[in-house]
Amino acid sequence: MAGERQSSFRFSGRYRMTGFDKTWLDLREAADHAARDHGLQKQVIDHLAAAHGQTLVVDLGAGTGSTFRAFLPEALHWRWRLVDNDPLLLIEAKRRHAGSARIECMEAHLDAPADSLFFEARLVTASALFDLVSESFLARLVSELAQTNIGLYAALNYDGVCRWDEHHPLDDEVVAAFNVHQRRDKGFGPALGPDATPVLRRLLEEQGFQVALAPSPWRLDKAHAELQRQFIFGIASAAAETGLVEEADVNDWRLARLQQAESSDCLVGHWDLFAFR
Ligand SMILES: C[S@@+](CC[C@H](N)C(=O)[O-])C[C@H]1O[C@@H](n2cnc3c(N)ncnc32)[C@H](O)[C@@H]1O
């Protein structure tokens, strides 16, 4: 993938992290796991329990294996294929789960996936990924899942909402610019950004899948102050890059928000989805 990378939120600008590096993924993992809808996770577990032996889960954009960890201890009963284009993240996943013979790692670019990607799979999963992809990418994926009768669990798809308890007069303007940035190409064509969940739902229903949805917002309080700070830096950089907000306004907003990172709670909207036939 070309360009700058960070979280399912991807930014470029003066503030830079090294991309989807493990430090950033680790920073967000506790908030991600708390946010995932546990009712939907239970449905996934029941779906796989009914699979009579065919329990290979293919995790797209797996990073260091957060979805695997989110399903522990049940995850240990299933086979996992972790797919990512970043070999360093896959090495880290292997290191963390060296004792599990049930995990295989596959380095692959999802924009040009190998035919063998879904071989023997019962379920495809992805987390914090589909807001980065285009509608045409999802249409191809859903068509492949329909042909092979594989279910889909897609967690933590950003929906465009960032809301703080302590309101700042520039919140709406900065978040709107950030959401414009979220729709820029992240390596898969024009990204769906906040539209990922409704588009994915439509595509799946057109192919005869039953689709269950649940909100999975981050609820960030002072215990997540560092995650809030990194997120604020990212939002500000992305918003500034669009040119839709005056640079001085972005700087004011960033400073005020950083000062409030320990006092103002923040909600970031996401949705989880589970689809099966
Ligand atoms: C926001 S991270 C999410 C990682 C993990 N699913 C999690 O929840 O922690 C997005 C992941 O997608 C991977 N990724 C992005 N573009 C990709 C592509 N074209 N092919 C394969 N993996 C990709 C990144 O390397 C990264 O690990």
Q: Is the CB of 89 under 6 A from ligand 1?
A: yes
DSSP 120: T
Q: How many C-beta neighbours within 10 Å does residue 26 have?
A: 13
- 3 state SS of 220: strand
Distance 166 CA to ligand 1 centre (A): 32
Distance 167 CA to ligand 1 centre (A): 32
Query: pLDDT (tens digit, 0 to 9) for every residue of the chain, 277 residues total?
Result: 223 334 455 433 323 334 588 999 999 999 999 999 999 999 999 999 998 777 999 999 999 999 999 999 999 999 999 999 999 999 999 999 988 779 999 999 998 877 789 999 999 999 999 999 999 999 999 999 999 999 999 999 999 999 999 999 999 999 999 999 999 999 999 999 999 999 999 999 999 999 999 999 999 999 999 999 999 999 999 999 999 999 999 999 999 999 999 998 999 999 999 999 9
- Per-residue pLDDT of 221-240, as tens digits, reads 999 999 999 999 999 999 99
Return d(Cα 243, Cα 259) in angstroms, integer.
Answer: 24
Q: Give whole-number Cα distances, 39 to 127, 213, 215, 273, in Å.
A: 16, 10, 11, 11
Return d(Cα 65, Cα 42) in angstroms, integer.
Answer: 19
Instruction: Give the number of the atom of ligand 1 that is nearest the alpha carbon of residue 9.
Output: 1
- 3 state SS of 275: strand
CB 194 within 8 A of CB 270: no
Pocket test for ligand 1, best of 6, 9, 17, 20 (most atoms within 8 A of CB): 20
| Structural domains for the chain | 22-162+187-219+268-276 (3.40.50.150)
Pocket test for ligand 1, best of 67, 69, 86 (most atoms within 8 A of CB): 86
